[in-house]
Structures are given as C-alpha cells and as structure tokens.
Amino acid sequence: MKHQRTDEFLLRLLREQPERGMRAIFDAHYANLCKVVYLLVQDGTAAEDIAQEVFVQLWKRKEQLELGSSLWAYLRRAGYNRALNWLRDRKLRTERERTGAKENQVNPMQASGGVEQEELRASIRRAVDELPPRTRLVFILSRFEGYSRKEIAKELDISVKTVENQMTRALKMLREALKEHWPTKKKNKE
C-alpha cells in the first residue's frame, strides 16, 4: 500500500509540477533501472542510454500515463522492452559485420589455461546472446537474477507454463550451440 501511495504522489507531482516530479521519479528509480537493464545488455553505456530513453518516454507520456501496476514495474517493463530491442538490433549489426567469418571453437577438454577458459566463457556469452529476446530474458531472470518461475511469470505477465517452456527452449538451444565444446560419449556395442 505504501508503494501505491508513493507512486500516486509521484505521478500527481509529475502532472502538477512536471520538472520536480520527473526529478523525484528519476532520483528514486534511475540507478535501479540501469542495474536491471545492464543485466540484459551487459554494456554499461547502453544500459544508461536505455534507462534515459525510458525516462524520456515517461516524460512524453506524463499526461496520459495510466499504470496497471506500480511505477517501478512500469519503468522496469519499459526498460526490459527497450533492452530487448537493443539486443535485437545489436545482433543484426553483428551478423552483418560477421558475414562469411567463421569463429574458431575451442574444446574445453583440450583447453589448458586462462585463455582457453576465457574463450569458452565468451562462447557461452555469445550463445546466451543468440537466444531469442524473450527466451533470453526468461533465462537471465532465472539463472542470473535468481527469480523463481512464478516471479518471472508475474514480472513478465505470462503464465508459469510459458516460463517453463521458455526455459526448456533456452537450455535446449544452449546445449545445441555449445555441443562442439564437449566431446560426445560413444556407446560401446558388444
């Protein structure tokens, strides 16, 4: 209830004294929004840019803004959506830049030392980056932020079953993308 009253106060302040209201909302939520967006984009500058874009949109929509949930939930969802768009655009740029280029893959079983392990970590990061945006978001919320399936469902306004399906999809795609890093076991037939 306290958050609801605070949100109502901040939104009323935004409408009645726009500059003061915007400053109050920005001070209350900007740092946390940057952190949430950073978890998705893994780029500090991009996270700050995306968070600022969310506040610009809030400013533009201040007169018509109707919240179905809390102000923080609204800002976080807007941040997620913008981050997903940024990831999609970055992926398209990267694919265009890489056309025709093939990356060397290292088998971690043959790796010796930090360089090979860093290459494996980079391969894992790339594999996560290659997940479809919604699948990646569910995976990141689950594995990197520690959200439960129920929390993810509530956060993204989807069913728990959809969360489970997205996690299954993410894990299958990651296994497929990283399969060349681990030798397959051959069954002995006798």
Hey, what domains does the chain have and what are their CATH numbers? Answer: 1-96 (1.10.1740.10), 111-181 (1.10.10.10)
Query: Are 87 and 129 spatial neighbours (Cβ–Cβ below 8 Å)?
Result: yes
Q: Report the alpha-carbon angle 15-30-150, nearest 5.
A: 100
Residue 153 has what pLDDT? 87
Count of H-run helices and E-run strands, the chain: 8, 0
Q: What is the pLDDT of residue 120?
A: 72
- Nearest CA among 33, 84, 50, 47 for reference residue 25: 33
Instruction: Output DSSP code: residue 68.
Output: S
Q: Where in 62-134 does DSSP place strands (E)?
A: none
pLDDT at site 5: 66
- CA 66/CA 7 separation, integer angstroms: 11
pLDDT at residue 2 tops 90: no
103 band by pLDDT with thresholds 50, 70 and 90: very low
The residue-averaged pLDDT of 2-9 equals: 71
What pLDDT, on the 0 to 100 scale, is given for residue 184?
55
E strand or H helix at 16, and its extent? helix 2-16
For the residues 122-135, what does the mean pLDDT come to?
82
pLDDT score of 132 more than 50 = yes
Both tokens assigned to 32? 């946390």
CA atoms within 13 A on the CB side of 29: 27
Predicted TM-score of the model (pTM): 0.55
Per residue in 24-75, pLDDT tens?
A: 999 999 999 999 999 888 899 999 999 999 999 998 888 887 776 789 888 9
pLDDT the model gives residue 11:
83
Chain-centroid distance of CA 91 in Å reads: 14
Rounded to whole angstroms, the Cα distance separating 8 from 14 reads 10
- Please give the DSSP secondary-structure letter assigned to residue 159: -
